[in-house]
Every structure is written in structure tokens, then in C-alpha cells.
Amino acid sequence: MRIEQDLKLDFKDVLIRPKRSTLTSRSEVDISREFVFLHSKQKYKGIPIIAANMDTTGTFAMARALAKHQLSVALHKHYDDAELLAFFADQPEFPPSFYSMGITQPDYDKFRRIMEQSNGTIKSVCVDVANGYTKAFISFIHKLRAGHPDITIMAGNVVTGEMTEELILDGVDIVKVGIGPGSVCTTRRMSGVGYPQLSAIIECADAAHGLHGLICADGGCTSPGDLAKAFGAGADFVMLGGMLAGHDECGSDIIEVNGVKKMRFYGMSSREAMEKYAGGVAAHRAAEGKEVLLDYRGPVEGTLQDILGGVRSACTYVGARKLKELSKCTTFIRVSQQLNEVFGSV
């Protein structure tokens, strides 16, 4: 047993300190990014925000809505072959939609089948597991990279610098960072495992950038200010689930509760998801997600305006004319626990 004494922070623990700026309007801020991925050598241009690969957010409808604003989607992995082939046949070059997969043999067989039938249309893949520290996960990354050297691989999840470095050296272009911070994830409560998300981003970004790799902060953002903090901490991409849930573009029915329209939102390791796709929770495991009912929020367009406007606003407060400058301009101020209790998440 070992206890680490170093300070670790979450989004709620900090604010971004304002600085002198020559910017006179949010319209002057460019929040798009351009990357050349380390291993695939593919070029990316867009706003580096990705809808999470949950069946309530990683939908075709969400992909089409977000593409209008140069945002991306990691599609959920439960679409069938025909649906995926039809979607990727019409997929524009930028920004990319990520094909999502697990690490089982059926996952790999399905991916190979679709790649063969589409003549290699899929350019970006999200390999998603709850625990990115297993030997099986690393072995799968080796196999995927060896078989498909030209695809962009986003993979995770991990929360430490050393594992981020290993994944990049093993062929991952974008390391997905976050264990347990999501609003419908119960991993921390069920297993006691996790890491404060802001510190995870800072440490994993530092490790990745030293090897010319990238990270995607996955989970924990509940407001546009949290995205600004994630980008300020060094995240190259930010993945959103709950902030994009409850909209028309989500794969969920609208229900009425006491006269109020609601939509279901649940984690992909929840009992609800496992009953839907696996016939229930296996005897050897426990559910590590939950279901909530969110207020119906209509089209996602209004939420996107809030998100993008909030990030632009953060840039004006610190003098960052481009999103890529935000981390260099960011100074975090710790917020006391007493203030957190009084004012809540900031």
C-alpha cells in the first residue's frame, strides 16, 4: 500500500485567472485546431470537441448536426454493418467521425468486415475500454496498428502519464483520459478507482506532448467553463456525453413525467445498457453506470452555441486569439473547499 501526497485537482477546484488582452470581441477568437496525427499522418482541421460514443449521444443524427460546426462524433458501437456502411459512404473528410469498437474478437471481425466492404472508408477509430491498463488492451492496440497503419487511433481510458506514454509509443494517436468523472459513471463509487480529472489532463497532456502525441479529455465537463479549463490544462480534444444529451439528435425517446418532457441518459456500463445489448449484467461483474432522466432540450443547436461561445469567451479573458494558445495563457487559481460548498461547481 502506498499513499501519494501530491495535490490533485478537479474542474470544480479551480478558476482561470483573467489577464490583459488586446481582443475586443469573441468573434476574433479562432477555436479550431489543425493537427497532423503522429502515427496515421492524417491531417485534422476542426473544432476539437467530440460527442461521446454512447448510444444516447454518439448517433448519426448528432454527427450530422455537429459536422455543421466542425465538431466530431465517436459513434456508438451498436449500429449494424449496413447502417455504418451507409453512413461512412457519405462521410465528409473533415471533421472525422470515429468508428467505435471494443477489444473482443467479434469487435475486430466486424471492423475488418466493414473496412473490406467499404474499401477502407473509415479513417478514424475509437478503441474504448473502461480499463486501459490491461495487457489485453495493449495487445489489441498492437494488432490494430499493425493491420491498419494508416488509420487514426483514439484509445483509452487511462489517467496517468506513464500509461499515456506507453499507448503513444504503441501506436495510439489520441489517448483518451478519464476514469470515473462522467455524470452517469459510477466506477469511483463501485470500485474506488479514479483520478481527479483536471490533474489527469495536466499530467497526461504533458506526457503525450513530449512524444508529439495528443490527448482527449473524456468526462467531467458539466458547463462550457469546464471545457475551457480542460483546454487550458492542455487537452487537445474534449469528449462530451451529458452536456449533449437530452436533445432531438440523441438516440432516446421523449417521455412525460408529471407533464414535463424527459429523455433517458445512461452510462454504457449501466444495468440499462447491459440489459439492452448483453442480456443483463454478467454474474462476474457489477454495473458501473446509472440511468437518469434529463429535461428534454430540443435541438442541439442552442447548446452548441453556449458551448462554443463559452470557450471563445474564456479565450478573450486571457488574451488567447487562438484555441491552441489557451493553455499557454492559462493560470489556474485554486478555489477553497469552503467556497465550493457555498457556491457549488464553478
Rounded alpha-carbon distances, angstroms, from residue 98 to 10, 174, 339: 27, 12, 39
| Catalytic residue list contains 204 | no
Angle at which helices 105-117 and 81-89 pack, to 10 degrees?
A: 40
Residue from 29, 100, 123, 65 nearest 318 by CA: 29
Cα dihedral sign for 291, 256, 65, 110?
A: positive
User: Cα-atom radius of gyration of the chain, to the nearest Å?
Assistant: 19
Q: What angle do CA 237, 243, 246 make, to 5 degrees?
A: 140
- C-alpha–C-alpha distance, residues 11 and 293, integer Å: 24
Which of 57, 59, 164, 187 does the annotation list as catalytic?
A: 187
Q: Is 107 helix (H, G, I), strand (E, B) or coil?
A: helix
Cα dihedral sign for 64, 177, 169, 141?
A: negative
Q: What is the DSSP string of 282-316?
A: -TT----B-EEEEEP---THHHHHHHHHHHHHHHH
Do the beta carbons of residue 250 and residue 59 sit within 8 Å? yes
| Catalytic residue list contains 187 | yes
Do the beta carbons of residue 69 and residue 304 sit within 8 Å? yes
Which of 57, 59, 185, 216 does the annotation list as catalytic?
A: 185
Residues belonging to the active site: 185, 187
